[in-house]
């Protein structure tokens, strides 16, 4: 089986290289980033990625590439539209031509965050910002192309590799005496490692499952449970303190604030909780609580920091 991965240098893409390698035939995992010199891996170049797919002829395309600068997208809407909306449509068209599967990642930001329940795949999207609108357009372009596909919406992604909320909180807590963190946005921190492992499980299922069963569609993938950004930060600092990390900001000086006190160019949804029932039932999965992955990743980050001292 030949697998073509876009976005190898991102948080999820980095982990996907590990999880997908054992599933591909020897030498048949082709992982591309925007800096690839031999084949185009840059989703800002739809013509180039079309040629890449036609050259590689994969059995499965996994797209972990995206324009993810949420606030910057408000000013760079055209680029976000190309990368998040037009390019996935090209991937889907080529997947259909090859009768290949396309696995694509989307976001909780396709919802407006209203209500106080978990969003299901059947809920009507209503994105509040350019990033969410372009990601939803990408989903719709994939579905319109009528290829075999699995779209995985996820939320609050973090990893040992790359920049994310965990690393930001640790850095700020070592620099400042107090922190003020938004407390009215709710979601599930979801590790790139979990996303990659679930993706690998899905790929295995695609190889063995009765193809007559209709599994193409959207699925929600997030760790179990939920927390606010303030609660997330509190957990990070409490675990760091338990590991004897020197911090200027203790949990007692971590203050909750409403979103209105931390305005950003892009409006964020208040409720980002995703119902994962469909994913768990379809692929026979158990998803861990959000604390499990955060603790493991935090431990790895701290070990890496200590090794550099």
In degrees and rounded to multiples of 5, residue 264 shows phi and psi of -130, 160
Please state, in angstroms and rounded to a whole number, the distance separating the CA atoms of residues 206 and 3: 13
Could you tell me if 215 and 290 are in contact, meaning their C-beta atoms sit under 8 angstroms apart?
no
The single residue of 67, 131, 158, 161 carrying the catalytic annotation is 131
Please state, in angstroms and rounded to a whole number, the distance separating the CA atoms of residues 278 and 220: 7
Q: What is the torsional sign of CA 111, 143, 91, 102? A: positive
Q: Please say if 131 is a catalytic residue.
A: yes
User: Residue 84, class by beta-carbon neighbours within 10 Å (0-12 exposed, 13-18 middle, 19+ buried)?
Assistant: buried
Please state, in angstroms and rounded to a whole number, the distance separating the CA atoms of residues 67 and 41: 13
Point out the residues that are catalytic.
131
């Amino acid at each position: 089986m030949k697998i073509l991965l876009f976005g190898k240098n991102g948080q999820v893409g980095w982990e996907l290289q590990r999880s997908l390698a054992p599933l591909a035939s020897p030498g048949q995992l082709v992982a591309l980033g925007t800096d690839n010199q031999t084949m185009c891996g840059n989703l800002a170049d739809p013509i180039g990625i079309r040629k890449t797919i036609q050259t590689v002829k994969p059995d499965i395309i996994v797209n972990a590439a995206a324009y993810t600068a949420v606030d910057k997208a408000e000013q760079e809407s055209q680029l976000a539209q190309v990368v998040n909306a037009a390019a996935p449509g090209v991937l889907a068209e080529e997947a259909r031509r090859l009768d290949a599967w396309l696995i694509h990642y989307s976001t909780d930001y396709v919802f407006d965050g209203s209500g106080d329940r978990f969003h299901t795949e059947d809920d009507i999207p209503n994105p509040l910002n350019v990033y969410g609108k372009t990601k939803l357009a990408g989903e719709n372009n994939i579905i319109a192309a009528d290829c075999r596909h699995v779209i995985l919406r996820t939320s609050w992604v973090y990893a040992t590799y790359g920049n994310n909320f965990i690393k930001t909180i640790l850095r700020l807590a070592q620099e400042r005496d107090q922190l003020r963190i938004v407390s009215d946005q709710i979601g599930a921190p979801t590790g790139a490692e979990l996303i990659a492992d679930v993706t690998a499980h899905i790929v295995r299922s695609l190889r063995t499952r009765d193809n007559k069963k209709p599994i193409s569609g959207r699925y929600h993938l997030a760790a179990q449970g939920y927390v606010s950004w303030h609660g997330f930060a509190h957990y990070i600092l409490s675990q760091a303190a338990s590991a004897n990390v020197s911090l200027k900001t203790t949990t007692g000086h971590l203050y909750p604030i409403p979103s209105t006190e931390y305005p950003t160019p892009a409006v964020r949804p208040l409720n980002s909780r995703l119902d994962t029932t469909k994913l768990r039932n379809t692929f026979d999965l158990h998803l861990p609580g959000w604390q499990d992955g955060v603790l493991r990743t935090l431990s790895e980050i701290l070990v890496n920091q200590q090794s550099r001292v």
